[in-house]
Structure 1
């Protein structure tokens, strides 16, 4: 199964603060371990939402708004796409992840739709 592992933003990440050299090294080591296990399909970190845009849809109408976006804990700071055997394996990997932020942080794991999910549609 594929999952998206979502690192939620914090006040620090929204301020554009970069990780310490020690935190960066710990995350690089974790990413190397993920690659060696063959589960990483994609990954990336995102710049603060102040540099982003949102497009809202209402029928045929479109409204574009500039960041920053208010609810920091609902903004994505980074992600991985993993191929794992099940959700338990994804949880196991996330619990081994170094804290991605200097203070409290949150990572969300979401299963992705696969072609088989639409086979009967």
Structure 2
């Protein structure tokens, strides 16, 4: 099984000094995001797309994540318990989410290091993603085809959908102690339903890719575009021990 371990924003994560060196070195495969002041959210309605510049509320933000292989959610949570050793902040909230989506949408990890500016595209959750409906086969086919074309063009480096939070959990690390809270989680504004790691020569090119992508949601949806902190770029998937 594959899990996304999400480091939620807090404290220094909205600083340009993030991520600290210990976090970069201590979390295998970590992908760390620059502050949301450098990012944007794109909202689609029946009238088309609009772009909204950051920064955004701290409780709605992802600071970074890694993808791990683990035999079970319990094993993924056990792996996550060691996170505080690497994180200079000490008090950290993590979210452990199983990857994948209903239907036959394919996860991506090319293993390629970016040669252009890397961006993470976060699909923001809504009632539909948490209900986990199975998209029509033609929708899945369009997504898989677009992903494959993006990989072939050197734009898409990685990506995966996320199972609903009813299958996930949060881990609050405080003072060396860990408290587990099982999903589902009700604050949709805090949740994501999937991600893509892409690269582009300019942010506008990244925006153009988003606006052309055949997302399965609609007509109303939102994605967040965040630049990856260059010293935090990593591609390998970490095994859980």
TM-score per shorter chain, which class? 0.7 to 0.9
1:119 matched residue in structure 2: none
Structure 1 position 29 matched with structure 2 position 149: no
- Aligned CA RMSD, in angstroms, stands at 1.7
**Residues 66-81 of structure 1 mapped to structure 2, 5 A cutoff:** 66-81=182-197
How many angstroms apart in 2 are the aligned matches of 1:42 and 1:30?
13
Match of 2:163 among 24, 34, 47: 47
Structure 1 residues 15 and 107: CA distance shift in structure 2, 3 A: same
Per the alignment, residue 90 of structure 1 pairs with 206
Query: Which structure is higher in helix share?
Result: 1
CA shift digits 1:72-119 (9 cap, x unpaired)? 243111111112212111111001011331442111110010129xxx
Q: Which runs of 5+ in 2 are unaligned?
A: 1-116, 233-241
Instruction: Report how many aligned residue pairs link the two structures.
Output: 116
Q: Distance in 2 between matches of 1:57 and 1:86?
A: 37
Residues 10 and 72 of structure 1 are in contact (CA less than 8 Å); yes or no, is this contact kept in structure 2?
yes
Could you state the TM-score of these two structures normalised by the residue count of structure 1? 0.85
**Residue 135 (structure 2) aligned to one of 19, 23, 35:** 19
Q: Bigger shift: 67-76 or 104-113?
A: 67-76
Q: Which residue of 1 aligns with 2:125?
A: 9
Secondary structure in structure 2 of the residue aligned to 1:106: strand
- Equivalent runs, 1:48-67 vs 2, <5 Å: 48-67=164-183
* Residues 7 and 100, structure 1, Cα contact 8 Å, conserved in 2: no
Where 2:225 maps in the other structure, the secondary structure is strand
**Higher mean displacement: 62-71 or 102-111:** 102-111
Distance in 1 between residues matched to 2:123 and 2:133, nearest whole Å:
15
CA distance in 1 between counterparts of 2:132 and 2:219 reads 14
Aligned equivalents of 1:47 and 1:13: distance in 2? 8
Q: TM-score if structure 2 supplies the norm length? A: 0.45
Q: Within 2, Cα distance between the matches of 1:89 and 1:16?
A: 30
**Larger RCO of the pair (alpha carbons < 8 Å, separation 6+):** 1
